[in-house]
Amino acid sequence: MTLSLAISPCPNDTFVFHALVHGQVPGAPAVTVTYADVDVTNTAAERGAFDLVKVSYAALPFLLEDYHLLPCGGALGRGCGPLVLTRPDRAPTSAVTASTGSDSRVTGFPGRVDLSGATVAVPGDRTTAYLLFRLWSAGRPPARIEVVPFHDIMPGVAAGRYDAGLVIHEARFTYPRHGLTALVDLGEWWEADTGLPIPLGAILARRGTVDPEAAAGWIRESVSRAWADPTASRDYVLTHAQEMEPDVVERHIGLYVNEFTADLGEVGYAAVDSLLGRAAEAGLVPQTSSSRATAWTS
């Protein structure tokens, strides 16, 4: 048996799946790998294109009829949220008063900044980053949203093609190089509001094709091997890291591969339920039952 696997080329995914991809997990089947941005895998998963697939948690309510949510292998954490970036000369000078009635800038968090006249570039319309952005900007949505390949967002904002851009992953470490400034860290906003980590990317197993319990075991073993010998995957990770410098790669892995990668646990599932519950109440995603109820978990 050979299974199809779709992950991003980002260092956290290649680090986590190195052992599985390279046949180093005892008892696991061979896998054929497709590397693609998460916006691509979100769409492909709707067609049932892969047996194992990395998707945005924001896409989960649209996929649970055909896929199991696995309790491991994904990206969820603290201090790793999406950023809204702009050029300093285009940054709004005022913040919209937060729903509490006080200016949240006093607490150090830029509130719901008024982007109502802006064009904002986003990496996908079913990404968790965009879902968080829509929750944050409720009541003051931008004038225009453009879905842009992730690697084109920061150059586009720097060149003035977009007023602001929504970025993820290694852009947290590299955006100053483009002369950009952060309007808001949506992770800080989410954590301050909920006390929960941010559920970013999930690993799904196709129903009727993959035994979810077995798949979770393979992935956990792959994670365990990655942590046991971080040097084993270095060449593989760097090959797919899109010209990222080694120090940025290490910081990326350190931020996005954490205890939730091995197991979501109660806190992880609470974060997923909170995000999707709020989004459903706002009419942004279909209502879905508890993520734990619709997933296989150990």
Active site residues: 169
What is the DSSP code (8-state) at residue 180? -
Q: Report how far residue 264's alpha carbon sits from residue 139's, in angstroms, rounded to the nearest whole number.
A: 32
Strands (E), 217-295: none
Nearest to 28 by CA among 76, 73, 66: 73
Helix (H, G, I), strand (E, B) or coil at 204: strand
Q: Report how far residue 131's alpha carbon sits from residue 198's, in angstroms, rounded to the nearest whole number.
A: 12
In the block, residue with structure tokens 């769409």: 43
Helix (H, G, I), strand (E, B) or coil at 52: strand
Give buried/exposed letters for 129-144 (b at 16+ CB in 10 A, else e): bbbbbbbbbeeeebee
Residue 170: phi and psi, rounded to 5, are -65, -15
